[in-house]
Amino acid sequence: MMGNNPKNRIGHLRVLLWVVVAVLPLFSAAQTPGFAVIDFQRYFPQFLAVSEEVQTNEFPQGVQYEFLSIWDEQQQLAYVMVIRRDGLDHVLRILMHKGSLEESEAAFRNTVSGLAKKVGSAPEIIDLRGIRTQEEFHARAVSLGWGVEILK
C-alpha cells in the first residue's frame, strides 16, 4: 500500500515504471522461455502486488519484491512470478507456480503472504483480471494514482 509517505510513493512510481518496461513490452516477440510477458494478445495480467522497499541484513542497500500473476489464454495456464529488485541494477525473476486458473489465485496469495512475512512488508494485491488492452491497463494505473510511461 502506498500510504502518504513521499519516499514510498516515489518508490512505487519508480517500480511501476520498471514494471511497464520489464513486463509490458510493446511486442511479445522477445518472450523468454519459462517467463510469460504480458502482451495483451496471448498473455494477460491477473494480479499484481509490489512490496515497499525495505532494508534487511541480507539487503542493506534495499530490496523490493513484485509479485505478478499472468494468464496464458492459449495454453490455459497461469504463471505466478516473483521479481526481486535489490539495488538499481540487479533484478531476479523467479517462476513460482505454473498451473490452472483455479489454482492461480491461491498460489499468488500464498506466495505474496510467504515473502511478505520474510521481509516484513505486506503489499496490497491489485486485481487486474478483466484488463484486456494496454489502454485499459493505463486507465487502471491512473485510477490507482500510479504514473505510467512506456520507456523504449
The rounded average pLDDT for each run of 10 residues, N- to C-terminus, in the chain (152 residues) is 44 44 39 67 92 85 88 91 83 84 88 83 89 91 75 44
pLDDT at 147: 66
Note the pLDDT tens digit of each residue in 74-89.
Answer: 999 999 888 888 877 7
Q: Would you tell me how many other CB atoms lie within 10 Å of the CB of residue 145?
A: 11
Beta carbons of 148 and 16 less than 8 angstroms apart: yes
* pTM for this model (two decimals): 0.70
Burial 95-117 (b: 16+ CB within 10 A, else e): ebbbeeeeebbebbbebbeebbe
pLDDT at 129: 92
The DSSP output letter for 119 is: H
pLDDT at 125: 92
pLDDT at 6: 44
The domain limits of the chain are 6-143
pLDDT at 109: 92
pLDDT at 141: 85
